[in-house]
Structure 1
């Protein structure tokens, strides 16, 4: 409960500070409301699903990093978590326990060509598919490593890979032919951005 309360206060305080810096009193109020709601939801998840193992050094380290260096990612993940819960998704406590992340029972995208895609934002993973859990945890690790630079680096790479398809030179065209507009993104852009290429190579699944 204490860890959840601290997380909630930190997130609310961070958004309140940013809001005040951007919009004085009005910004402060907006920031506190957004951060307060998302922080309360994330704090509740931390307290009830127990994603951080506080009996081990790695659990404490993850918690501290997520509320300091990687705080922007944690905040975005908290907003993502809040939206998912409002939409009827639920926290999967079995896979969340001591995993270093909050896992949700359903993904946010329908199956594409028979494949279930999980989506990770910050410390929140939407969807359950054990074969790709290591891959998704890889994204959580990336966020912790790159901290506030993680999301901008990913977005810039997505934009570049979309406009300048450098990946076309080494893409496996025999296994994943690019013949449709959707395939350009799902089989071309998506697996070749740096964070996805990293996780596919290190954690799989084979692609």
Structure 2
């Protein structure tokens, strides 16, 4: 529970400080945003013991998530708060000791979504893949989300991936296929996780 309380206070403080950089109005907005985000994330990790601070891996992940990878954690806390507001529920079985928060329902039909240390959706054969994204966020820290976004833009506007795409298995016949079978799996972070953790594409 201590981990949850510290996380809640830290997230609320971090967003308030970021708001302060924009002036008095930013300070108020930062606090208004940070308090519910901190409360939601702190409750989620505290009530499920997501981070086991008695273990080196749990302690390291906790420290990294609230320092180097803080932008990803804030984004994940926003994602979590939105999901909870829409009725999604935390899955304790997949969260306890896993150094992340795992939600029961996905955001997009047929897909799991990971933002920071928060995963939405349950599918055993995809869990390793999603945990790979959490590791990427911890490795690249504040560079991670901008690098992913930049790759999406480049891969959309300049589809370099058409040169090596498997056109036989995944023909690009419409806009949906262009994004779901083309841009998405050829993004660097997705290609990495499919290759390293699966599932087979």
Matched, 1:11 2:11: yes
Give the corresponding residue for 2:75: 76
Q: Which residue of 1 aligns with 2:200?
A: 206
Give the drift of 1:180.
Answer: 1.1
| 1:1-207 alignment runs, 5 A limit | 1-22=1-22, 24-110=23-109, 116-207=110-201
Separation in 1, partners of 2:135, 2:193: 10
The TM-score, its normalising length taken from structure 1, stands at 0.96
C-alpha deviation, 1:55, in angstroms: 2.1
Unaligned runs of 5+ in 1: 111-115
* Contact 2:3-2:51 within 8 A present in 1 as well: no
> What is the CA-CA distance between 1:49 and the residue it aligns to?
1.3
- Structure 2 residue runs of 5 or longer lacking an equivalent are none
* RMSD of Structure 2 on Structure 1 (CA): 0.6
Name whichever of 158-167 and 49-58 sits farther off: 49-58
User: Deviating runs (4+, > 6 A) in structure 1?
Assistant: none
Separation in 2 of the partners of 1:9 and 1:54? Answer: 17
